[in-house]
């Protein structure tokens, strides 16, 4: 557990002075965002510099806090802009070594996976902490789940919901569960298309093509679950990691009638995220050193300085494990305060029949297992599940 002296050490002048860095060009394909080939980026030390983008850069990404000040965070990632179904809102999607996508017909072992972040923090600090060639050159130990999954043969992507990280807010200014589900569908279909996947494609061995897998963490696991509950969706396997599902909790609906002319003076100001908010999930002594914990706190505040405004949370009341009919992994730390084991048991035991199901409990772990010293266990479980589980055969009913 971090104490005040640990935090003070993390923010010593030596720690802060490491912020000034230079990066090369980010590669581009039709949806990729391009940055200039030589640029000095603001790092944790707050060094103010000017960034230039080419004409192909997506303006919504550039308008976000991450796009303006966070290029040092997605070092080593490919940044894409994917249009959402329905309103064409640009969604920030991140890949790694993905600029020349391998086609399924060329490599039937190809296994893409899309990662969804949680309620408060966006994907880059969550899934690419201390990743990239700059940290590697300095000898820092990467805590990037994106890099770890790539090293184990998967093709990882992650995305930001509206109002998080590199995805700008829409006109509502709020985040809604079902809107997140539709945006997730859009990105899954984009991944499937760029890798040549087709749900009806039969490979040389007579096996149907495996569509991308989907992982959701924390509240993102609820979004992933709702996505998997859809009758037709472009995913083959589901991973519910640290899910906050609780069948006994019902989110209240909004009132039907409200004052349509509220007093502007009473409109609440946007809530700022804090460093303490960012590191509160690290609760077990000895599971993460102060430096990477502080790196996460700093990265999280650069990417998401303002707390996203969720609304219509009652849409999560539609989460029903019995409606999931794809192979599913339920995984959480044994000391995760948001995913108590008796609730995880309820989730696992009520999953729909007819597909593989796996339940894994990681000892000495809390909510953010993928950032802890023991994160390699989580990576191994995810990779094994995706590569080995068997999906439900078509035409089989239970």
**pLDDT for the residue numbered 208:** 57
Distance CA 227, CA 180 (A): 9
- Residue 295 tokens read as 């790196």
Considering the entire predicted model, what is its pTM? 0.84
Architecture in CATH for domain 73-255+262-388 = 3-Layer(aba) Sandwich (3.40)
DSSP string, 123-185: HHHHHSBT-SHHHHHTTPPPB-HHHHHHHTT-EEEEE--TTSTTSPP-TT-SB-HHHHHHHHH
**pLDDT for the residue numbered 73:** 94
**pLDDT for the residue numbered 268:** 58
Contact assessment for residue 211 and residue 234, using Cβ atoms and an 8 Å cutoff: yes
Distance CA 343, CA 376 (A): 25
**pLDDT for the residue numbered 192:** 94
DSSP string, 251-301: PPPPPS---SS--GGGSPPPPBP-HHHHHTT--STTSS-HHHHHHHHHHHH
**pLDDT for the residue numbered 129:** 98
Distance CA 244, CA 7 (A): 29
Give the Cα-Cα-Cα angle 49, 134, 148 (nearest 5 degrees): 130
- Residue 174 tokens read as 């709020």
**pLDDT for the residue numbered 189:** 95
Q: Mean pLDDT in each 10-residue stretch from start to end of the chain (398 residues)?
A: 42 34 34 46 32 39 87 93 94 94 86 97 98 94 98 97 95 95 97 84 57 97 98 91 97 84 61 96 96 97 96 97 97 97 97 94 97 97 88 43
**pLDDT for the residue numbered 366:** 97
**pLDDT for the residue numbered 119:** 98
List the domain boundaries for the chain.
Answer: 73-255+262-388
- Residue 190 tokens read as 């984009």
**pLDDT for the residue numbered 9:** 37
Phi, psi angle pair for 197, to nearest 5°: -85, 145
């Amino acid at each position: 557990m971090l104490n005040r002296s640990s935090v003070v050490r993390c923010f010593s002048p030596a720690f802060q002075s490491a912020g000034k860095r230079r990066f090369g060009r980010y590669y581009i394909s039709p949806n990729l965002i391009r940055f200039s080939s030589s640029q000095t980026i603001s790092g944790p030390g707050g060094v103010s510099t000017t960034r230039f983008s080419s004409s192909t850069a997506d303006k919504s990404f550039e308008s976000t806090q991450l796009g303006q000040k966070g290029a040092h965070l997605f070092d080593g990632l490919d940044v894409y802009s994917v249009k959402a179904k329905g309103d064409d809102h640009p969604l920030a999607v991140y890949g790694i070594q993905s600029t020349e996508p391998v086609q399924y017909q060329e490599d039937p072992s190809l296994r893409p996976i899309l990662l969804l972040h949680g309620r408060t923090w966006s994907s880059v600090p969550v899934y690419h902490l201390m990743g990239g060639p700059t940290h590697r050159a300095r000898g820092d130990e990467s805590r990037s789940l994106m890099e770890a999954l790539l090293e184990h043969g998967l093709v990882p992507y992650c995305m930001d919901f509206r109002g998080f990280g590199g995805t700008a807010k829409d006109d509502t200014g709020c985040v809604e569960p079902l809107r997140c589900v539709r945006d997730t569908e859009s990105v899954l279909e984009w991944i499937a298309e760029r890798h040549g996947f087709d749900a009806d494609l039969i490979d040389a061995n007579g096996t149907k093509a495996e569509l991308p897998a989907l992982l959701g963490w924390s509240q993102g696991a609820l979004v992933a679950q709702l996505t998997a509950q859809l009758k037709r969706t472009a995913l083959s396997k589901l991973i519910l990691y640290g899910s906050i599902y609780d069948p006994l909790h019902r989110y209240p609906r909004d009132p039907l009638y409200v004052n349509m002319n509220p007093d502007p003076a009473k409109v609440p100001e946007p809530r700022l995220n804090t460093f303490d908010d960012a590191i509160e999930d690290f609760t077990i002594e000895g599971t993460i050193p102060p430096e990477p914990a502080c790196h996460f706190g700093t990265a999280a505040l650069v990417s998401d300085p303002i707390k996203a405004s969720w609304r219509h949370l009652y849409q999560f009341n539609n989460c029903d494990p019995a409606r999931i009919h794809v192979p599913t992994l339920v995984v959480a730390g044994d000391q995760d305060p948001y995913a108590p084991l008796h609730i995880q048991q309820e989730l696992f035991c009520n999953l729909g029949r007819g597909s593989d199901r796996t339940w894994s409990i990681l000892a000495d772990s809390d909510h953010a297992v993928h950032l802890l010293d023991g994160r390699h266990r989580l990576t191994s479980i995810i990779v094994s599940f995706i590569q080995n589980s068997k999906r439900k055969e078509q035409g089989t009913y239970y």
